[in-house]
Structures are given as structure tokens and as C-alpha cells.
Amino acid sequence: MNRRGLLALAALPPGAARAQAPEVLDLAGQPVLALATHPAVGPRLRAMAQGRQRLLSEALRGEGPPLAVSGGWVHGRARAGEARVLLAFDTRSEAVAIILYEGSAAALFVPPRFAPWPAALRAAVEGFSPQVAAALRFH
């Protein structure tokens, strides 16, 4: 989706964008960029990126396995150069989870590393990094 499309969706009343957007669960099998550009996710990423928009954008355009679904969460990961990302969206609560790394350094965790992470994302995080998964608390 281009910038003009996102601006048009932002002008719609709450709920209207969701009704017109493809179902998030239907994105399974597509690249993680499809989740990042979905109207339920994309507009929130800029604020959540906390000044790391360029790095997040670069990582989301990288290569990785297709989106998968675990326990109501749609998730995927990608890598472009030194940037790598895991992006997940809970289809029930509309929560977003992001892990962003630049090289071996953590650049962003949403929710924060010290907060409990959804147990449904354990396997996805282990696929991203077994060391990160071992350090997180899953509930």
C-alpha cells in the first residue's frame, strides 16, 4: 500500500478501515512486509519504531520466511543486511509485537524485554533468535 492509500485509510472513521482491509489472517504465507503495510498495523509502526523507522523499514523489506499464524498471532521475520526484524499482530486484541536488531545489538523491543511476552510467540521468537527467546519471559 502506498502513502496515499494509507492517508486515505487514516481519514476513515474507526472500524471502517478494518472493514475495507483484507483480513489479517489471510496474509499467512506472504512476506512480513504485507503485515507491516496492513491498515491495522502499518499506521501504528511509525510511532512504535521510536526513531528507528529507517532501520525498521529496511528490515521489513528484507527476505525471510512467509507469515505464519500461532494462537491468533500473525507473525513473520525478515533480514536485510545488518537489520533483522520480527513483527507480530494479535488478531484478537490488535496488539503489535516487534523485535528489531541492528547487527548483534537490540534496537527495539515492543513490548519491552522485561515485560511478559505472549506464549503463542515463543516458537516465532526462537526462530528469530534462540538467545532472545531464552531471555524473554513468556506467559
Which helix H or strand E contains 78, and what residues bound it? strand 73-80
- Candidate from 8-22, 34-48, 98-112 with smallest mean pLDDT: 8-22
Question: How far apart are alpha carbons 57 and 70 in whole angstroms?
Answer: 24
Residue with the bigger pLDDT between 46 and 27: it is 27
Mean pLDDT to the nearest integer, 127-139: 96
Give the pLDDT confidence score for residue 117 in this predicted structure: 97
Give the pLDDT confidence score for residue 22 in this predicted structure: 60
For residues 75 and 27, is the Cβ–Cβ distance under 8 A?
A: no
Interstrand relation of 83-90 and 137-138 (parallel, antiparallel or unpaired): unpaired
Span 77-131, pLDDT tens digits: 999 999 999 999 999 999 999 999 999 999 999 999 999 999 999 999 999 999 9
